[in-house]
Amino acid sequence: MRYANFPGCSASTTGKAYTESFSYVARHAGIEIDEVPDWNCCGASAGRLQSDDLGDALPARSLANAEAAFGDEPVLALCAGCYSNLRRALVHARESEDRRRQIEALIGQPYEAKADVVCGIDPFLEPEVAQTVKARVTQPLNGLKVACYYGCALVRPRALTTFDDEEDPQSMEAVVKLTGAEPVEWGSKTECCGASHHVSNPTAMKPLVERILADAIDAGAEAIATACPLCNMNLDMREAEINKARAARGEAPLDIPVYFFAQLLASAMGASDAEAGITRNFVPGSSLLAEAKTREVVVELTPEQKKAARIAAAKKQAAARKAAQAAAAAAPAQGKEEAHE
């Protein structure tokens, strides 16, 4: 698969670890990445507030560039914010021919909206890619309990995104399973992490983060996996402060590392912590993964396998019984012979 990557402002900053781990996985899973030429801000924070036209024009321009360079090659947006905004422009252009023309007029270049826009998870949902990844997993995270966290922009609104279920998505779980880890079922996977109030109003944001961390731990998760630089930073970076506050309140700390799902993939595929960007995490994440890799594999048998096993066992027993009987039959005869002599 080839993708035209739209880095966005976070790729080399807050989301650097995401970029690093993703490109590692991509390299080893046969995913080819081009960069969208002359890309510009997706308009996430300000564009749409200014005007709907600007809100569509900004992302559309980058998409048009991608189209010009790579035709209908899907555009990859690792950042959930970029993903959401690019998709919005795409959907608007696709659902109304008039709007598409308006957008073309606004950006002053042709835009046919033929190239799809995908997020970081989508490539791994392609069966063949998933296969290669599975094959390349050399150091499985055996049974590591992971809470997959989607946040808001990836899954909502339904009209824009392409997820299986905006209220209860399962696709990241499917990807994380590839590493041998075990996703947990939990309720806060699409709750807001308050990232947009990250700077402006931390007091409003902290309880949200705290809740997410608490829920994950409550659901038995040892780690949280994310697919959005902002969510990731928000959860990862705030954990310490939150725990300080909890300590003050005399509550147990919420101790759970936060990874990009790509970091888990990379690590399982044998990337060093540096390569997987794990060293960049605020909450130290190396030891947990290292520990998980040493765990013994618990194989969950399918019903068929169980049945087969049962049958095999039964056969073995039967055989044993036969042997025993044979032996029993043989024994007395022998005795007689002895008597004769």
Partner 1 sequence: MSRIGVFVCHCGTNIAGTVDVEAVADAARQMPNVAYAGTNKYMCSAQGQDYIVDIIKEHNLDRVVIASCSPRMHERLFRKVLAEKTDLNPYLLEVANIREQCSWVHKDKQIGTPKAINLVAMAVAKADCDTQLFTHEIPVTKRALIIGGGIAGIQAALDIADAGFPVTIVERKTTIGGKMPMLDKTFPTLDCSACISTPKMSECEAHPLIEIKTLSEVEKVEGYIGNFDVTIREKAKYIDYDKCTGCGMCETKCPQKKIPSEFNQGMSTRTAVYKPFPQAVPSKPTIDADHCRMLTEGKCGVCAKVCPTGAIDYQDVDRVTTERYGAIVLATGYELIDWTRLYGEYGGGRYADVISGLQFERLVNASGPTEGHILRPSDGTEPKTMVIVKCVGSRDPHKGVPYCSRACCMYGAKHAHQFMDKVPGGKCFVFYMDVRTPGKNYDEFYMNTLHEGARYIRGRISKITRRSDGKLVCLGEDTLSGNVVEVDADMVVLETAMVPPEGAKKLAQTVNTQLGPEGFFTEAHPKLRPVETNTGGLYLAGTAQGPKDIPDTVAQAGAAAAKVIGLLCKQSIESNPMVAHVDDSKCSGCGACVDICPYSAVTLVEKTLRENSRKVTRTVAQVNEGLCQGCGACTVACRPGASDLLGFNDEGIMREVEAYATR
Binding site for partner 1 (CB under 8 A): 165-169, 185-188, 191, 215, 218-220
Please say which residue, 79 or 224, places its beta carbon nearer to partner 1. Answer: 224
Peptide bond into 157 cis (omega under 30): yes
The distance of closest approach from Cβ of residue 165 to partner 1 in the complex, given in angstroms and rounded to an integer, is: 4
Q: Which is nearer to partner 1, 112 or 166 (CB)?
A: 166
Choice between 36 and 223, CB closer to partner 1: 223
| Least spacing, CB of residue 77 vs partner 1, in Å | 24
Q: Which is nearer to partner 1, 59 or 169 (CB)?
A: 169
Residue 161 CB, nearest approach to partner 1 (Å) = 14
In 3D, which of 31, 33, 25, 55 has the Cα closest to residue 42? 55
What three-state secondary structure class fits 3? strand
Give the whole-angstrom CA distance, residue 16 versus residue 311: 53
Q: List strands edge to edge, sheet with 75-77.
A: 32-35, 2-5, 75-77, 117-119
- Decide whether 71 or 220 has the Cβ nearer to partner 1: 220
In whole angstroms, the minimum distance from the beta carbon of 126 to partner 1 comes to: 23
For residue 227, which of 83, 67, 107 has the smallest C-alpha distance? 83
Smallest distance, Å, CB 164 to partner 1? 9
Closer of 72 and 167 to partner 1 (Cβ): 167
Nearest-angstrom CA–CA distance, 144 and 309: 27
Q: For residue 38, count other CB atoms closer than 10 A to its CB.
A: 11
Nearest distance from C-beta of residue 281 to partner 1, angstroms: 25
- Write out the two tokens for 19: 């970029």
Measured between alpha carbons, how far is residue 28 from residues 23, 25, 177, 228 in Å?
9, 5, 18, 22
Q: Which residue's structure tokens are 């905006």?
A: 166
| Least distance from partner 1 to the Cβ atom of residue 91, Å | 17
Q: How far is the CB of 159 from partner 1 (least distance, A)?
A: 10
Q: Least Å distance between CB 168 and partner 1? A: 3
57 vs 91, beta carbon nearer partner 1: 91
Residue 7: other Cβ atoms inside 10 A: 17
Question: Of 157 and 202, which CB lies nearer to partner 1 in the complex structure?
Answer: 157
Which residues, in sequence order, are bridge partners of residue 34? 4
CA dihedral 45, 46, 50, 51 (to 10 degrees): -50
- CA 34 – CA 19 distance, rounded (Å): 13
Comparing CB distances to partner 1, the nearer of 211 and 246 is 211
Burial readout 275-310 (b: 16 or more C-beta within 10 A, e: otherwise):
bbbbebbebebeebbeebbeeeeeeeeeeeeeeeee
